[in-house]
Amino acid sequence: GAGVSQTPSNKVTEKGKYVELRCDPISGHTALYWYRQSLGQGPEFLIYFQGTGAADDSGLPNDRFFAVRPEGSVSTLKIQRTERGDSAVYLCASSLWTGGKNEQFFGPGTRLTVL
Binding residues (CB under 8 A) for other proteins: these are 31, 33, 35, 40-45, 48, 55-56, 58-59, 91, 93, 95, 97, 101-109
Shortest distance (Å) from residue 16 CB to other proteins: 27
Shortest distance (Å) from residue 18 CB to other proteins: 25
DSSP string, 39-93: TTS--EEEEEEETTEEEE-TT--STTEEEE-TTSS-EEEEE-S--GGG-EEEEEE
Q: Using the minimum distance from each CB to other proteins, give the nearer residue, 80 or 113.
A: 113
d(CA 94, CA 57): 16
Q: Using the minimum distance from each CB to other proteins, give the nearer residue, 1 or 14.
A: 1
Q: Using the minimum distance from each CB to other proteins, give the nearer residue, 51 or 108.
A: 108
Shortest distance (Å) from residue 94 CB to other proteins: 11
CB contact at 8 A, 77 and 59:
no
